[in-house]
Amino acid sequence: MKSQDERVYTRKNHRRVKSMHPMDYVSPYIMVERSEASNYFSDTVDAGPIDTYMRQKRKEDMPELGLHHILLAAYVRTVAERPGINRFIRGQKIYARDRIVVNMAIKRDMALNAQETILKMVFKPDDTIKEVYEIFQKTYNESVGDDVETGFDSAAKIINYIPGLIKKFVVWLLKLLDYFGLLPNGLTNVSPFHGSLFITSMGSLGIKPIFHHLYNFGHVPAFISFGRRRHATELDVLGQPTRRSYYDLAVVTDERICDGFYYASAWKQFTRFLKTPEILETVPEVTPDIP
C-alpha cells in the first residue's frame, strides 16, 4: 500500500490544461451545464472471464472480490493509459487530475428504509487490483453500520439543520465558491458531486443498469452503472445452442473534457481489461496528460 499522503486529494493534485484545441476551450461556454454536455452509451461485456477470475482470486488473497472491484481497477488502469478521461470542467476551465477520486452510493442494509451513504475513495493511476481491492474494503468497512457516521453523513446533517430560505442561500454560495475553486478541501473530500467517477450497482438491486445523469454542481465527468448478471441462449459456431452470461453497463460522460475518438479509445482499453483482468495485477506505465 502507498503512503497515506498519496491517498489525499487536494488542489495540488490538479492543474489547468492549456494545450488543447481552441474549440475545446469555447465549448464549456456554449454547453455551460454538465447535463447539456452529457453523452449516453451502453455496452455489454462477457461475464465468463470476469467470473472465472473472481472465483480464482477469492480462493487466494481477495475473499470478497466482486464485479465492482474489477470495474474500479479497470477504470483506474484506463486512466493510467488514457488520462484525458480524468479531466474535469470547473468555472468553464479544463483541469487535469493526477489522482482518481471515485464516489459510490451504498445502502447500509438491503432494506427499503435503510439509510444510504457515500463511499469516497482516492486511487493513483499506478494502483493494481490488489490496492484497489484493499482501499475499497477499508473504506467500506469504515462506512457501514447503523452507528457509523461518515463525513458525507455529517455534512448532509449540518446542511439539513439550516432553515429553508437560508439553506437555499448557502447552496448558492457553495456553488459560487465551487465555480472559482474556493470550496474548502474538507467539503470536496466528502462531497459526492466532486470526483473522477461516480459508479453505482444496479445488480445488487436485481435490475438492469440505468443511465444516471451527471450533476451540474461539482465536477464529476463520468457515471457508470452496472447491472446484474444476464443470461442468454445463443448459437455457437456449429449452430448449437449454448448458454452465455453477460454484464450490462450504462455510461454517461461529459463530452467537453475530451473528444469522441479519445473516449472510444479509452473505452476499448477499459473493456480489454475486463476481458483479461489478470492484466490488472501488474503495475502499469503511467501516461501523463497533456500540459
H/E run at residue 246: strand 241-254
Point out the residues of the chain with pLDDT beneath 50: none
Angstrom distance (rounded) from CA 289 to CA 291 = 7
The pLDDT value given to residue 112: 67
Percent composition of the chain: helix, strand, coil (DSSP 3-state, to 5): 40, 25, 35
The pLDDT value given to residue 9: 83
Q: Name the architecture of domain 4-281.
A: 2-Layer Sandwich (3.30)
List the chain domain ranges: 4-281
The pLDDT value given to residue 33: 96
Please answer whether residues 105 and 201 qualify as being in contact, where contact means their C-beta atoms are separated by less than 8 angstroms: no
Angstrom distance (rounded) from CA 177 to CA 4 = 28
The pLDDT value given to residue 239: 87
Would you give the DSSP letter of residue 204? G
**pLDDT tens-digit series, residues 154-204:** 888 888 899 989 999 999 999 999 999 999 998 999 999 999 999 999 988
**pLDDT tens-digit series, residues 135-160:** 999 999 998 876 778 888 888 888 88
> How many separate helices (H) and strands (E) can be counted in the chain?
8, 9
Q: What is the pTM of this model?
A: 0.93
- Give the count of beta carbons closer than 10 Å to the beta carbon of residue 182: 11
User: Which residues are CB-neighbours of 119 under 8 A, at least 6 positions away?
Assistant: 102, 103, 104, 105, 106, 136, 139, 140, 143
